[in-house]
Amino acid sequence: MKHIIIAETVQQTVDKANSLFSRGTVTLIPAASCEDILELHRKQKVDLIIADANLPRMGGARLCTAVRSDPALKDVSIIMVCENGDPAADEYRKAGSNDVLPRPVDPVRLFSTVSRMIMVQNRMAVRIPLRISVEGRDQKEAFVGISQDMSVSGMLLDSARVMQSGQRFACSFTLSSRVVTVECMVVRVLPNPGGGYQCGVKFVNLDAKTFVLIEHFAKSNPSTK
């Protein structure tokens, strides 16, 4: 049984549709404010938080920062719901939201995202050492790097390119003879003893087919070099 804290404003969408939430696989815990979310998560250590950026007494970015900066709270997935075209959407991601959904919330997309978040939590351990060429491109230029490991949540990337935490870019690589292109966000950057930089990269908005491909590759090649 999975436990999910959900903003009351978002739960109204859930209540209007027949979904995985009605199948006994999860327990929904409603919250009226960001402070309620923090208090409930501190008491119950839930699996997922579905927050609303418009909840009172604390903004979406501050909520994410509060969760990610607390060692006792940080190990949870967060979905942030905000207005369509909200200029702060990237701030929510940089602060630690795993995904951002626009309002009005599409129930099908919400349920798909929740399912993916729960699956990612269950499969985070499937991370393999993997050295492959990765082609990246951001708004400025293209660059090349070498992955060190990979999972459905992201990869460790060596590159001479100077990058910053929160920076987003697209990258392409080949798995099982298939070229995969994913959206990425840098979550940490460290100097590489051999020169250049080693970046922890998170995959953003990974589609279902790519998720399954990476997961299958990881399970089939646990010791790939």
126-174 pLDDT, tens digit per residue, is: 678 999 999 999 888 999 999 999 988 889 999 999 888 889 999 999 9
Residue 211 has pLDDT above 90, yes or no: no
- The residue with greater pLDDT, 64 or 18, is 64
**What is the sign of the dihedral through the CA atoms of 185, 98, 68 and 215?**
negative
Nearest Cα residue to 147 out of 177, 111, 172: 172
**Domain 2-123 CATH assignment equals 3.40.50.2300:** yes
Q: Which two tokens stand for residue 224?
A: 């790939």
Residue 111 has pLDDT above 70, yes or no: yes
Residue 104 has pLDDT above 60, yes or no: yes
Distance in angstroms (rounded) separating the CA atoms of residues 153 and 21: 24
Task: Please list, residue by residue across 28-58, b when 16 or more beta carbons sit within 10 angstroms of its beta carbon and e when fewer do.
Answer: bbebebbebbbebbeeeebbbbbbbbebeeb
Say which CATH superfamily domain 128-220 falls into.
predicted glycosyltransferase like domains (2.40.10.220)
The verdict on pTM exceeding 0.75 is no
Each residue's pLDDT tens digit, 45-92: 999 999 999 887 788 999 999 999 998 999 899 999 999 988 889 999
Each residue's pLDDT tens digit, 19-43: 556 555 678 899 999 999 999 999 9
Q: In the chain, which segments carry CATH 2.40.10.220? A: 128-220
Q: In the chain, which segments carry CATH 3.40.50.2300? A: 2-123
